[in-house]
Structures are given as structure tokens and as C-alpha cells.
Chain A
Amino acid sequence: MDDPLLELNKAGSEQPEARNSSDGARQRFVLGETGFNEVPRKYRKFYRKWQGEGDSLALNEVLCPVCLVVIRSSRELRVGDRVYCMPCMSRLIVTREDGILLAKVVY
């Protein structure tokens, strides 16, 4: 069986491991390099630059409202998840507004 977690991806690509199942299991993603270099090397795959108009967020991504960098997780993100934006050191919580997932800062 092919395990997507072990597959080599092209730079920047990511592949869902499994579709969202009826039991609520989260999709998993293999994160590739994105060219983001503003954090130590081992963390770079967890971030990418927001490209502005025309860009969109995947199920495992959320935009940091403080520094406008996209935070990427190896799991599908859901409301209530806590994420950390290393480029600006903000602690965030994932919320839903108007049907869209957003990150809010936790002070």
C-alpha cells in the first residue's frame, strides 16, 4: 500500500492521505517546502507566503491575521484548534465566521 506520508512530493505540493470519513477523521497532508525562509529550517514547511488576490486556503491552512503568513498543518484544521505562528510569535485559535475558517489571536 502506498503511504502518502512517505511519498516524496514536488516542492510546495501536498497530498491528502484520506478523504474525510463519516466518523469525522481528519484528512492528513504531507507538507512540502514552500520557499518560506523566515523561520528555522525544520519549521519552514509549516508556513508559506500569502499570495493575495487569487490565493486560497486549503483545508489544512489558516491565515495569520497579525503577519499575513499562511500557517499549514499536517492535519485538516477545525474550529477550536490552536495553532502557532512562528514568524510573528502569535498564538491563535481557529474559529469560523460566515462559513470561513479564520484564526484569532489569543493574548
Chain B
Amino acid sequence: MSDFLSAFSIQSWLESCPQGYLDSTEYGHRPGEKESEAMLDNEDFLEQEIRTTVQLVLGERAALAASSGLINLAPDDPSRMFLATQTLDEARHVEIFTQRLYDLGVKKSDLDGTLANYGNPNLVKFAEVLLEKIDKGDFVAGVVGQNIVLEGMAFSVFEMMHATNEIANPKFAHTLSGTIADERRHVGFGENRIGSLLQAQPEKKPEIQKMQQEMTAHMLAVFSDSFAESEEVIQEVQTSADPDAGPAMYQGVDLNTADSEEMEAVLSNTVIGEFKTRLARIGLEYLPPAA
């Protein structure tokens, strides 16, 4: 077994994560931090934040189901160890984003109803494509779907949300920082472990590429729905923002002045660009969604 697998250890995870960047945090942010008052006092802003956070909870629930399902499919102990740490990471993400819903005023008794009311059906379909592979016991497809497609998408979405919230809402930005750090490990595992496994099983490539194509179509539909729904709120937030606040730059675009169409374009292009690069590195071809 190659040496690089030894990095996928519980000890390494302990030193980096709970004893590292999560030390002294509370649900992922600094103790005592609160959501922005301006947002909590505005019904439209608040509903938009709840809607966004619901998608994060649903995405992380899918990641939790996927990573836990992959543990017993893994071909070696280091991969099982890593996936066990990833399962805890994903469970933490579900918890911190659910806690954010409570911080935004959602009652615990209303959680399921809120998720059902605001959850995007395309996000559910995105998760179903991935979970079907895991249910069928396909480890390689499952890791590509989970650690490259889902985590690659999450990595870019969290980076963009972090840029938007760094000044406007430090509590949420700090919560996102820890998840971004977790995602680095997850995409790293995906590329490094699958890169070598795919070299040994090239016959799996067409089926995996088809899965990526389906997941990408659902992902782009989620982005389209989300930015279309938030168009007016984005304008309202920008109009009422502190004019002295600096730019919120993401991939060369100032999110404090961009309209929802520009935001959707920069996010979609970034995620797809990353997919193409990551998939090419492990020997897969990116397939655009079918017309």
C-alpha cells in the first residue's frame, strides 16, 4: 500500500480539525457571535437566508448519507478511516447549518416543514443520482460523485458565500471557513484515492461520466432556481448595504454590485471549470448536461 494512504488517519484529522481550526468554536463560529441584526429585522432578507441555509442542510444530509454509505464499500482500511472522519465532518455540517436555521428563528418543531417548504427539488434529484450508485455498491462512482462532484460544488459555493459574508455577517463567514477547510480534505481524498483506482479500472469511466453529466444538470438547475428566486432580494440587499463597505470579490466579480445573473454565471462557470480540471486530472472527461 502506498505511503500516501497513511495520511488518511484519525490522528491526522484530530490534529488538523478539532484540535486545530475548530478549537474553541461553537457550532463552527466564534463563541457569542450573532447573526446580523439588519438581516434579522428584514423579513425578505431573513426568508432568503433561511431558503439558502435549507439548501445547505439538504446538501449536507446527502453528503452524510453518501460518506457513511461509502465506508463499508471502501477497499482498504485507510480509506475506511478517512471516510469515517468525513462522515463526522458531514454530520457536523448538518448540525451547524441546522443550528443556523434555529438562529434565524426557525422553531425545532418546524424544521421538517421548513426543509420541505424551501428545499429545491433539483437538489433532491442531484442527491438521488449519487445515492443510487452507493446503494448499488459502486465505490469508485460513489467517491467521484461525492468527493469530486458534490464536494467540488460545495467548495466553490462555500467560497462564494464566504466572500459575500466576510464583512456583512462574520458569524456565518466563520462557520463557512471551517467547512471550506473540511472540503479541502474531502476533494483531496477524492482525487488522490480515485486517481489511482481509476487507472486500474478504466472500464468504469463511461458510467461515471454519465453520472457526472446527470448530477451537473441538476446542480445547474439548482443554481438557476436559486438565483432567479433571490433576484429582488439581492437588489434590496445591495441598495441597503453600507456604501463604505469594500468590495466582496469572488473570481474577479464584486458580489456587492453584481446582479443575480452575473452571480449565477460566475458560480456556474467556476464550478464547471473546476469539474473539468479535476476530472481531467484523474483521467475522466467532463460531459456537459444533455440538451
Is there a chain A Cβ closer than 8 Å to B195's Cβ?
Answer: yes
Tell me the residues in window 246-276 of chain B with beta carbons closer than 8 Å to chain A beta carbons: 249, 251-252
Interface flags, A19-61, vs B, CB<8A=1, else 0: 0000000000000000001111100000000001100000000
Tell me the residues in window 265-291 of chain B with beta carbons closer than 8 Å to chain A beta carbons: 277-278, 281-282
Of the listed stretches A4-12, A71-79, A85-93, A94-102, chain B binds A85-93
| Contacting pair B21 A37 (CB below 8 A) | yes
Central interface residue in B184, B187, B192, B277, by most chain A CB within 10 Å:
B184
How many residues in B have their beta carbons less than 8 Å from beta carbons of A? Answer: 26
Is there a chain B Cβ closer than 8 Å to A80's Cβ?
Answer: no
Q: Would you give the shortest CB distance from A25 to chain B, in whole angstroms? A: 30
Central interface residue in A38, A88, A89, A91, by most chain B CB within 10 Å:
A89
Q: Would you give the shortest CB distance from A87 to chain B, in whole angstroms? A: 5
- Residues of chain B within 8 A of A89, CB atoms compared: 4, 7-8, 185, 188-189, 192
Q: Which residue of B lies closest to A88 (CB)?
A: B188
| Contacting pair B195 A87 (CB below 8 A) | no
Is there a chain A Cβ closer than 8 Å to B72's Cβ?
Answer: no
Complex Cα gap A105–B282 (Å): 9
| Contacting pair B184 A67 (CB below 8 A) | yes
Complex Cα gap A88–B152 (Å): 13
Is there a chain B Cβ closer than 8 Å to A66's Cβ?
Answer: yes
Q: Would you give the shortest CB distance from B191 to chain A, in whole angstroms? A: 5
Complex Cα gap A19–B185 (Å): 36
Q: A53-B252, A107-B195 are in contact. Are A67 and B282 (CB under 8 A)?
A: no
Q: Which residue of A lies closest to B183 (CB)?
A: A67
Contact pick for B187, options A41, A66, A107, CB 8 Å? A66
- Residues of chain A within 8 A of B199, CB atoms compared: 107
Tell me the residues in window 211-259 of chain B with beta carbons closer than 8 Å to chain A beta carbons: 249, 251-252
Complex Cα gap A53–B191 (Å): 25
Q: A53-B249, A89-B8 are in contact. Are A39 and B188 (CB under 8 A)?
A: no
Is there a chain A Cβ closer than 8 Å to B36's Cβ?
Answer: no
Is there a chain B Cβ closer than 8 Å to A69's Cβ?
Answer: yes
| Contacting pair A105 B281 (CB below 8 A) | yes
How many residues in A have their beta carbons less than 8 Å from beta carbons of B? Answer: 20
Contact pick for B192, options A37, A65, A107, CB 8 Å? A107
Q: Would you give the shortest CB distance from B85 to chain A, in whole angstroms? A: 11
Interface flags, B7-22, vs A, CB<8A=1, else 0: 1100000011001110
Complex Cα gap A85–B189 (Å): 12
Contact pick for B188, options A41, A53, A66, CB 8 Å? A66
Q: Would you give the shortest CB distance from B266 to chain A, in whole angstroms? A: 12
| Contacting pair B192 A105 (CB below 8 A) | yes
Q: A39-B16, A53-B252 are in contact. Are A87 and B181 (CB under 8 A)?
A: yes
Q: A53-B249, A87-B188 are in contact. Are A38 and B195 (CB under 8 A)?
A: no
Central interface residue in B7, B8, B19, B282, by most chain A CB within 10 Å:
B7
Closest 5 A-B residue pairs measured CB to CB? Answer: A88-B188, A107-B195, A67-B184, A40-B15, A89-B7
Q: Known pairs A66-B184, A105-B191, A105-B195; list 20 more (Cβ under 8 Å).
A: A38-B16, A38-B184, A39-B16, A40-B20, A52-B251, A66-B187, A66-B192, A67-B187, A85-B188, A87-B181, A87-B185, A88-B184, A88-B185, A89-B188, A89-B192, A90-B191, A105-B192, A107-B191, A107-B192, A107-B195
Query: What are 18 of the A-B contact pairs (CB < 8 Å)?
Result: A38-B16, A38-B21, A39-B15, A40-B16, A52-B249, A65-B277, A66-B184, A66-B188, A66-B278, A87-B185, A87-B188, A88-B184, A88-B192, A89-B192, A90-B188, A105-B191, A105-B195, A107-B282
